[in-house]
Structure 1
């Protein structure tokens, strides 16, 4: 394991078994836990987490792509501590300087044309299958992963369309996506053209022709799908889709909850990698490095339309949130985290591709920067998902060797890698070594069972 000079404090709270008992008694069972023996985390430092026994883990999931600049980043921590002693909360009926300072800093990261849109006042919204946009009654209709759908009315006006997935879908090959690693599927595309993109655009047009009125409210998409396992679209698809939506009077919404704030490496926002400018951008997760906050950035016309009633948020523009968000932006820039993300992410992707070539159960390695998916399959030819119990065994082995992955995909068949952007190449090599060892153990178990 790579060295770390941070020494965690001694854990002095409830014993592990007592904590587990209380959780089972009082906490909703919908709040699931990873691992057969759940981790009880005590402290964090940058890319590292420490459990109640002081054991160290390399965090490759970052609280589900949330801890962008690192656990307890000193600059963010110092800013929060300073504001704690000054002002916690005022409600949005008063002004304080932090919200203005933060809004100016955040919007400076977005292109000016974003402010030039028109509110549609239409109804239907199109979304991708496999997309995740939330679990509230208002957003669940846009979420198209069965495990995250609840049994209650939802989805009015939401129309799903085919996911342009070049590994799992009917079309795609080894020249289709913007990634250091391409799918192993063969492709007949020539430089500058993508036949898969053209086929998926025809499916998108079919949705527009059959499932929605001539005028629509909009289209929402993640620049790279997060919960579904870092699924990428063919190069050029999103740009053409945006044009088709705008022809029907709709606005284009980029869900940057997981792709924003430098996670894709080369670009600060995921939509920039597609050569598009959305009309609305939604952000959360890494915006506060774990502090609970979110934002929607759009034009004055859209924002003012919402003021026709009296929408109100007691905690909107909270001083603590704005100071933390501002410190996160400073840390990304001052620590060179976006550049590090691209360098380390590319290195990690290329190393994982070597494992894909070695192990039959790795079907696909994909992503950009430090938003990476490793899709596990029974075999490369069928591309059928590896059974859940086998994925869980690999997952447990990695944890036991000190590396924490996430899981995603329609069948939870994809390992998700979305660590703090401060991880090093040495950390990446350690993660690959651990994953290789876990895959080797799986291979040995499979051989022994025959």
Structure 2
């Protein structure tokens, strides 16, 4: 008898010797949960990859696929609605003819299987027919993977061979607008920075075991001038990770505490000593790390429609800190970005950060501001983002943007707090190379008025992005300031359901348009924009125009299931917005924890690979 799926779900019959439907699994397959094509049912139940021939009206035909471990089931021409079938067969392009051929092969495969109930009992039929079906199946699998790779991984990975200002170039000399590399603060390979480094290294002297006179170094003084007067000590390191490690050491020595408070899904370095603080890349549970909820008023537990949302976040955190104290532990510090960029460009209300600092200090801890991503004028209104939040951290961390990507970082604090290091403080002095590069970055920032430029360009970009938000259902939220922005991609504004699939497709399509974006956040559905500070209004306009083009190419018709056959068809009903971009939205079904953990592990490995050089 044919397998029967749940009402409203696509019913398909197995190819010979393929696995049964999971609800009718043979005992020998009960433990087989990791085979090819199985993905987390929490997010991808009955997920179908739909080969999109073109997003424009020129070619509206689509080929639907459902990948199984041992078989690919094509919804081929005789199972498509009449308009779709006509459009596919009427196209003259080579690509469309290839898809038509694949559809015809699939049709032949379906004929061999004889999809009606009567022939299902004899679908194992003759050996010759089974053999022919297996050959077609293998060809369909190969075609599908090649098409999917062409669709989602075209020109990937890029082979970048050089960069200049806000542009990057591949081995074919194609130019890409860089919208994600905040480390190249004043622009890639800025000639002033390059010349300063070259000159400094030509006379650099490396010593070990004794001190030498390095001359009149000005950078420490100039950097301190950008801070309020109470920050009078600067300790230099080689990376943001090392700066976080040093800050935690100082906090523990100063407070005699051991425990650290961090925000969920944050990133604060990849050294072993601070890796547990980076919830973005580490799921390790350690006793001395306490994770507080992310104050996300768009997708968090408490949202903007609740007037008491901020107070509720603070109440939960207060109870958590009290529990730590009741357990006999002492908090050493609270580490957080003033603007939470890595978790998805979340700008917490200033009252939240102010109250967090107050609670941590009442527990005897220090407050540490991570300015790796948002410092040096990037937010436009202030040179440091903690000033925009009207807070006064005890320790400030700055990363490689200080040197435009050169390995240098800094810990800025008061003389009183830094004194706990004793003679070790001499280990964190500024070198001649750091002095030359750091001064060059400050010179460029001041002379080109990059902070003011970030404010004006950011205001223009925000207006343009908000216009796109009004125009497209896929954009649920736009947030940020200066040259730090996040675009929340959702299936629909009403549901707010995050769509990693659409976000990734937009990133790939923008790459084809020679614009580099990244999708981040817990669900990886947030388009992140943190470009070099030389990013101009013309660049912002080009970015939004191309983003508008890519969004406009996404299908505006809806894909629904035929009430009779249970198969996908194209509908013009405006109320149904369950599927986008040719990918089925997950159906409601019981969750599979094993498969969910597999997907989470894949996301974790991706994050660990991508964030290792972020600081």
TM range (shorter): 0.7 to 0.9
Aligned to 2:608: none
Residues 361-380 of structure 1 deviation map (CA, whole Å, 9 limit, x = unaligned): 11111111001111111222
2:504 equivalent among 381, 392, 398: 392
Q: Report how many residues are paired.
A: 390
Shift of 1:74: 2.3
User: Which residue in the other structure is 1:275 paired with?
Assistant: 390
Task: Say whether the 8 Å CA contact 1:45–1:73 is kept in structure 2.
Answer: yes
Deviations 1:304-325 (A, max 9, x none): 32336x5886x96332222111
For the residues of structure 2 that align with 1:61 and 1:108, how far apart are their CA atoms? 28
Q: Give the structure with higher Rg (CA).
A: 2
1:43 aligns with 2:155: no
Of 258, 266, 282, the residue aligned with 1:123 is: 258
C-alpha distance after superposition, 1:206-258 (max 9, x if no partner): 11111345742111110111222211112311111111111121100001111
**1:87 and 1:319 in contact (8 A); partners too:** yes
Structure 1 residue 209 corresponds to structure 2 residue 322: yes
Give the match for residue 211 of structure 2. 94
1:68-126, CA deviations, whole angstroms, 9 ceiling, x for partnerless residues?
11112222122112212222644684345478421111112111234599821211111
Structure 1 residues 307 and 245, CA gap change in structure 2 (3 angstroms): same
Secondary structure of 1:172 counterpart? coil
5 Å-filtered alignment, 1:331-342, equals 331-342=444-455
Aligned to 2:486: 373
* Aligned residue number for residue 231 of structure 1: 346
Asked whether the 8 Å contact 2:510–2:516 carries over to 1, the reply is yes
Relative to structure 1, is the Cα distance of residues 84 and 214 closer, same or farther in structure 2, using a 3 angstrom cutoff? closer
Q: Is 1:149 paired with 2:282?
A: yes
Q: Tell me the CA shift for residue 276 of structure 1.
A: 0.8
More relative contact order in 1 or in 2 (CA 8 Å, sep 6+)?
1
1:107 aligns with 2:219: no
CA apart distance, 1:35:
6.9
Match of 1:70 among 187, 200, 223: 187
User: Is it true that 1:420 corresponds to 2:532 in the alignment?
Assistant: yes
1:61 to 180, 196, 209: 180
- Among 206, 213, 219, the alignment partner of 2:334 is 219
For 1:169, the equivalent position in structure 2 comes to: 300
C-alpha distance in 2, partners of 1:221/1:129? 10
1:355·1:362 contact (CA, 8 Å) conserved in 2?
yes
Match of 1:249 among 364, 384, 403: 364
Distance 1:337 1:98 in 2: 29
- Shift in Å, 1:196: 2.4
Deviations along 1:132-166, whole A, 9 cap, x unmatched? 11122221221122xx127xx67441101111111
Distance 1:136 1:85, change over 3 A: closer
The separation in 2 between residues aligned to 1:88 and 1:359, in whole angstroms, is 58
Cα pair distance change 1:391/1:93, threshold 3 Å: farther
Contact (CA 8 Å) 2:503, 2:519: kept in 1 or not? Answer: no
Root mean square deviation, CA, Å: 2.6
Q: How does 1:296-335 map to 2 (within 5 A)?
A: 296-307=411-422, 317-335=430-448
Report Cα offsets for 1:56-75 as digits up to 9, x if no partner: 1111012xx20111112222
Report the Cα distance in structure 2 between the residues aligned to 1:99 and 1:379, rounded to whole angstroms.
Answer: 59
Give yes or no for contact 1:135–1:149 (8 Å, CA) kept in 2.
no
If the length of structure 2 is used for normalisation, what is the TM-score?
Answer: 0.60
Distance (Å, rounded) in 1 between the aligned partners of 2:409 and 2:337: 16
The worse-fitting range, judged by mean Cα deviation, of 135-144 and 288-297 is: 135-144
Post-superposition CA distance 1:10-64 (Å, at most 9, x none):
xxxxxxxxxxxxxxxxxxxxxxxx97621111222211111111111111012xx
Checking the alignment, whether the CA contact within 8 Å between 1:352 and 1:432 is kept in structure 2 is yes
1:181 equivalent in structure 2: none
Match of 1:362 among 475, 483, 493: 475
Q: Secondary structure at the match of 2:230?
A: helix
Query: Normalising by structure 1, what TM-score?
Result: 0.80
1:240/1:319 CA distance change after superposition, 3 Å: same
SS at match of 2:491: coil
Query: What secondary structure sits across from 1:165 in the alignment?
Result: coil
Deviation per CA, 1:379-407, whole angstroms, max 9, x where unpaired?
Answer: 2222221033x322211110111111122
Contact 1:89 1:318 in 2 (8 A): no
Cα 1:85/1:353, change in 2 over 3 Å:
same
**Structure 1 residue ranges (4+ consecutive) displaced by more than 6 angstroms after TM superposition:** none
**Mapped partners of 2:220, 2:543: distance in 1:** 37
Show CA shifts across 1:164-208 (max 9, x none). 1111113232xxxxxxxxxxxx465xxxxxx32222211221111
Long gaps (5+) in structure 1:
1-33, 174-185, 189-194
